[in-house]
Amino acid sequence: MIVSLLLILLFSIPAVPLTLIGAPSRPPSCLPLMMSNLDDFPSDTTPAFDPGTSARDALLTACKEAAGEVDSGQLSRLVSSLPSSPLSTPPTSKWSLLHATTDRTRSSPFFASFTSAIGEEKSKQIYSITDSIPSPLKSVGEATQTFEEDESLASRGTLVSRVVISALGGLSSSVMTSRCSYSAEGSDLQIKVLTTKPEESTIVSLLPDPLKSAAESFPAFPSGEALRMANGGADVEITSEEVYVDDFCRVNRMGGEMFVWERVYS
């Protein structure tokens, strides 16, 4: 199972067939020749703009103008100047990543879960390899998180994390998609990764219809179960500290890193 988890990490080069690097005997559902069959969540209606949150607006503006490269000192000052969070947890919505204090792929709960399962030292060694792959061999595009609350269970729901990964100057791309369950405990989210799957692969779109259908039919990889086995049989659940949440902006800490998000309206 640990080998399978390592294969998932190699999604950062979506053009490389995993069969060339030692895939397991069972056809791995983490093959990058897959697409999503999950429909997009409905768009939200933009609420009335609140002019009283200048600190929030300054943070969003700084992240946008710096294209995600905000100085750590400036980021710390901007976050510390935020008022008390109006909301304890993110509302049901889609959020787009504006800034990360680490590689943008870490916005996926999969990575913090992977680190928790195998240990920080081992994960650092692996990440040092995947993070060092230079552009244009690997580039990270849009990262989003979509929350959908379970109407039958208060403060619980589903989180879908998506990160666009491109290779070879954009000739190949896929969307690293992790589906998770979450529960709210105060201002924290307890997140458990369930499945992981590279979706919307540009390689798939070039395949003949029979192969394309076969690729799309592969089930998602049960990464939650693999993480549990790597963790000695105990479920892996990570914490996302929701530092600030309102109807426009979200700041959270996860896996020792900070992420700034903007709510998607259309």
Cα distances from 185 to residues 80, 194, 237, in angstroms, run 22, 19, 13
212 falls within a domain: yes
Whether residue 10 lies inside any domain: the answer is yes
The verdict on residue 155 lying in a domain is yes
- How far are the Cα atoms of 128, 135, 169 from residue 132, in angstroms, in the given order? 6, 9, 16
Q: Does the residue 80 lie in any domain? A: no
pLDDT given for residue 41 in this prediction: 41
Contact partners, residue 15, CB within 8 Å, separation at least 6:
32, 167, 168, 171, 172, 203
Residue 244 lies in a domain: yes
Residue 69 located in a structural domain: no
Do 178 and 108 meet the contact criterion of CB atoms below 8 Å apart? Answer: yes
Does a structural domain hold residue 70? Answer: no
Q: What is the pLDDT of residue 1?
A: 59
Residue 198: which residues within 8 A CB-CB, separation 6 or more? 11, 14, 30, 31, 32, 34, 165, 174, 175, 176, 177
The count of domains in the chain is 1
Is there a contact between 236 and 110 (Cβ–Cβ < 8 Å)? no
Give, as one character, the DSSP assignment of residue 220. P
Could you read off the pLDDT tens digit of each residue along the chain, which spans 266 residues?
A: 555 565 555 544 454 433 333 333 333 333 333 333 434 444 455 554 454 468 999 999 999 988 767 888 899 999 999 999 988 888 889 999 999 999 999 999 999 999 999 999 999 999 988 888 888 888 999 999 999 987 766 678 999 999 999 987 777 889 999 999 999 988 899 999 999 998 888 787 778 887 877 777 788 899 999 999 999 999 999 999 999 999 999 999 999 999 999 999 87
Domain boundaries, position 118: 2-47+88-263
Specify the DSSP class assigned to residue 124.
H
Q: What is the DSSP string of 59-98?
A: HHHHHHHTTT---HHHHHHHHHT----S-SS--SEEEEEE
Residue 75 included in any domain: no
- The stretches of 48-195 forming alpha helices (DSSP H) are 54-65, 72-80, 109-118, 120-131
DSSP 263: E
Instruction: Map tokens 């697409």 to a residue.
Output: 35
Query: Within 13 Å of residue 114, how many CA atoms lie on the same side as its CB?
Result: 26
